[in-house]
Structure 1
Amino acid sequence: MALVTYKGASSSSFIHQPKKFDVFLSFRGEDTRLGFVSHLYNALCQRGINTFIDNNLQRGEEISVGLLKVIESSEISIIVFSENYASSKWCLDELIKIVECKKKDQLVLPVFYNIDPSEIRNQKGKFGEALSKHEEKLKDYKVQSWREALFEVANISGWHYQHSCSEFEFIQGIVKEISNFKLNRTPLFVARYPVGINYRVKTILSDIESNDGHIIGIYGPGGIGKTTIAKAIFNRICNHFDGFCYLENLRERSETNAGVIELQEILLFEILKDTNLKVDNKSRGINMIKERLSFMRILLVLDDADKWIQIENLLGRCNWFASGSKIIITTRDRHLLATLRKCCSTYEVKGLDQDEALELLSMHAFQSNKPKEDYLELANSVIKYAKGLPLALVIMGADLNGRTKPQWRSAIDKYKRIPNEEVQKILEISYKGLDEIEKDIFLDIACFFKGFFKEYVMDMLNACDLHPIYGIQKLFDKCLITVDRYDRLLMHDLLQQMGRDIIRQESPQMPGERSRLWCYEDVHKVITQNTNSVIIQHNSQNVADDTELLAPLLSQNGSHTDSDAGDPSSSSSP
């Protein structure tokens, strides 16, 4: 039996508590407890499947509240139908609760133990007799609800055991199916210390519940936590869908036709569990996705997309999937989501606040939610440098773990001069996706114009034929710059440091050989040594060989900003 279920639209909340048990066993004790059910329970537990079995032999007339909660907190219910199952009001009340949970996306699997499923569906034989006896003593509506529940579950594809079968092999077949299901539902690893994640996840889930749109776009700069949030959402809601799939690193894996075909095959397999499906070419793969998945409610995460074609190769049109499907896209490019505006709601990931940043750094540096008291000032220096970027806090926290205070001070001084390679590598991805003119604009802003009014910068760049109207918008779309309420161009400090380091690497030891100089000392040195450097690549015609005239531009090492200029959260569209 393949564990593929097709659920109707569910009204259940995505914001729910984690499941306590993998499997709940419902059975008639006098028929199967000491034999089949005991063997099944032991086999499930030996496979590492957390299974609940009710060992209370003295059952009362009514099912306990505690047992109802156990059913609710189980991911799967296995109902072992035996000939005397329907004679127990307790079992039938369990069944009512299980059917109720099935409507909230619990997986329900029947085992027909020495009884024909048709006897339960048609309520004949022992089942019919038991229900008739109940009708003599109980109200009609109660028995009718039992009849409806029996009919519904008996129509679910399950396992049929007969005495001619090998009980051992039969049980092993059940355990294998449950194991495969559990493996497929194994949560994605989110983060070692998911600080600040729950609040952001709940915010997005609230939007998902109140919005009928298929697509949810999560955007922000590299290292801000988009992937972490998407994984947490995926884990939280995947069980609410007929099928689900998480496709990571879409940008890298879509660079070749073979990579696209591989992604299409993974999507089809993860949803349908059919190992025989093969995709010959990406055009056929798009059609296969439409034909095979269009009737299903699916959850699909496309992580790190940066071009529309990457999405089109997997989605086709955003309305291809059944009502209730959800597609989550993470990207560094907000403009990519604008092309989906009719069926897409968007969420911008902001940096961590002071308290969250301190906790995240402390967890990685001290394995505690707060720093050692005598390290607090040093920790705050790291937080000030990271400016709420989780990636930087995680990497630096791990790097500083177990270090002495002098080593912390030395490392912080180094961070300010030389960017951390791991952080730099992630941040550079967006920069490398720009064309040459856009790269020039980014580097000019990083070196000279952070904190300057946009109109002034546009005039400067326009005079150099850099097409700044389009270029600055492109940088904004790529989350490389922001614009504050005063219409000033802002940039995260680590992005600015990355840009300046790109220039330094042009000639690490010889400032005069670099394309841009912003540090007053470097400019003064180059001028007084009479080298032939182009001091400001695009603006040299506006800069005299006079240090007094250069001083205003080079003040504060090229950053003409207020104290909030490095805050990436104070942004508006350019």
Structure 2
Amino acid sequence: REGEFAKKLTEEVFRELKKAYLVVSDCLVSVDNHVDAIMEMIGAQTSETRIIGIHGMGGIGKTTIAKIIYNQLSNNFEDRCFLSNIREMSERKGMECLQNQLISEILKDKSMDIRNIDDGIKIIKDRLSNKRVLVLLDDVHEKNHTDALVRERNWFGKGSRLIITTRNKEVLDVLEVDDRYEVNGMDLDQSLQLFSKHAFRSDSPLDEYIDQSKKAIDIAGGLPLALEIIGSLLSRTEKKKWDLTLKKLENIPHAEVQSKLKISYDVLDSRQKHIFLDIACLFIGYDKDILVHFWDKFNFFPEDAIEVLQNTSLIKIIEDNEVWMHDQVRDFGREIVRQESNMKIEKQTRVWDHKQGFDLLRKHK
């Protein structure tokens, strides 16, 4: 019995440690300065609750930086929670689902059943106000997101740390955060290093690729997501085709990252495109094996397709075998579906907003 108890205890400890640690890319460049500056804002020694906002455009690296900070702080907090892709999850499952995750992870009680947003707010205020917590809210987009989760700092115990990533600075203004940090693009040296990690699996370009590499980072404009995707695309491209690919990229307006993503999308075959759009619209956060089983029935060769999508940095498989997609890539995929239907919701091949889905079902009763 003692051996069985020890085994169960070890498994439980391992599960908690795994839950606490957030997976980040191995291909990181020059994030230490960002992390150090934000850690200073967080003020690890003060006993007051602090709310810190990290903002910047999509694909700039906010989530990666926030995950590193969360990992560094985790050991100092018994109660912690990471809520990922809040904009996506609120559309797909509603704010009640996110409230339920916040409460159940901090209280370590999976029996919670949040009936509505007001019910969730009351439970957060009543049950978490004496808990010193670490909470990371990723991709907050609207005021109603923070209203339902962290509207008042006294909802949590003294010494709590709340970290928010967003593309929308107004969210931070309304919440009256204690401090905010803007993540800007990479300089030329940093860009070249990150691009090289994905294109050549090294910190610098091969000698015969130096000119093309400089052109590629100029096109990416210091945006880590674009550098990663362009680098991954070119790593799978013959040298004689690099100039043609770069010429296509060069003709795309600098700020339009979604148009840059189209280069990676265009090289996919029809089955791979179908799977990419399915993920972008419906299956972010799902278990990869379940999705493979689903697509197998349609003879889409999903294992091969998923490998191609990973190699081109359009998706990643993260902890717990979940399919992950960057919000910029997700938005790009959804825009394709909108354009294919001439912006008419009733003609879309995929509908991801649950309210729009219910409305369509009611109309077709």
Q: CA deviation at 1:418?
A: 4.4
**CA distance in 1 between partners of 2:236 and 2:7 (Å):** 49
Structure 2 letter corresponding to 1:282: I
SS of equivalent residue, structure 1 residue 351? coil
Cα gap change, 1:426/1:233 in structure 2, threshold over 3 Å: closer, same or farther? farther
Indicate if the aligned counterparts of 1:337 and 1:344 stay in contact, CA closer than 8 A: no
In 1: Cα distance, 2:259 partner to 2:84 partner: 18
The answer to whether structure 1 residue 193 and structure 2 residue 27 are counterparts is: yes
Out of 299, 304, 310, the position equivalent to 2:139 is 304
List per-residue Cα deviations over 1:127-148 (Å, max 9, x = no partner).
Answer: xxxxxxxxxxxxxxxxxxxxxx
Q: Which residue of 2 aligns with 1:337?
A: 172
Letter of the structure 2 residue corresponding to residue 239 of structure 1: N
Deviation at 1:378, TM superposition (A): 0.9
What residue in structure 1 maps to residue 94 of structure 2?
259
Match of 2:343 in 1: none
Following the alignment from structure 2 to structure 1, what is the Cα–Cα distance between the partners of residues 151 and 260? 29
Report what 2:204 is aligned to: 370
What displacement does 1:175 show? 2.1
User: For each residue in 1:479-513, what CA deviation from the matched residue of structure 2 results, as whole angstroms up to 9, or x when unmatched?
Assistant: xxxxxxxxxxxxxxx9xxx9xx99xx99xxxxxxx
2: CA distance, partners of 1:427 / 1:416: 13
Q: Is the 8 A contact 2:95 2:148 kept in 1?
A: yes
- The 5 Å alignment of 1:374-523 reads 374-418=208-252, 423-424=257-258
Cross-structure match for 2:85: 249
Residues 207 and 316 (structure 1 numbering): CA distance in 2 closer, same or farther, change over 3 Å? closer
Q: Where do 4+ consecutive residues of structure 1 move more than 6 Å?
A: 425-428
Change (3 A) 1:426 1:408: closer
Kindly indicate whether the alpha-carbon contact (under 8 Å) linking 1:218 and 1:330 is maintained by their aligned counterparts in 2: yes
- TM-score, normalized by length of structure 1? 0.43
Q: 1:249 and 1:171 mapped to 2: Cα distance?
A: 36
CA positional deviation for 1:167: 3.1
| 8 Å CA contact 1:223, 1:391 repeated in 2 | yes
- The one-letter amino acid of 1:224's match is I
Matched, 1:167 2:12: no
2:51 aligned partner: 215
The one-character-per-residue Cα deviations of 1:441-480 (angstroms, maximum 9, x if unpaired) are xxxxxxxxxxxxxxxxxxxxxxxxxxxxxxxxxxxxxxxx
CA-to-aligned-CA distance 1:83-112 (integer Å, 9 cap, x gap): xxxxxxxxxxxxxxxxxxxxxxxxxxxxxx
Helix, strand or coil for the counterpart of 2:54?
Answer: strand
> Structure 2: which 5+ runs fail to align?
263-327, 341-365
| 1:285 and 2:120 matched | yes
Q: Pick 1 or 2: higher relative contact order, CA cutoff 8 A, min separation 6.
A: 2
Change (3 A) 1:172 1:402: closer
Q: SS at the partner of 2:180?
A: strand
Unaligned runs of at least 5 residues, structure 1:
1-165, 429-493, 507-574
More helix by share: 2
- Distance apart, 1:223 and its partner CA: 0.8
* Cα offset, 1:335, TM superposition: 1.9
Aligned to 1:275: 110
SS in 2 for 1:254: helix
SS at match of 2:165: strand
Distance 1:344 1:425 in 2: 36
2:16 and 2:141 mapped to 1: Cα distance?
Answer: 33
Q: d(CA) in 2 for partners of 1:229 and 1:425?
A: 25
Are the aligned partners of 1:220 and 1:226 in contact in 2 as well (CA < 8 Å)?
Answer: yes
What SS is found at the alignment partner of 1:218? Answer: strand
Cα deviations across residues 370-406 of structure 1 (Å, max 9, x unaligned)?
0001211111111111111001000000000043333
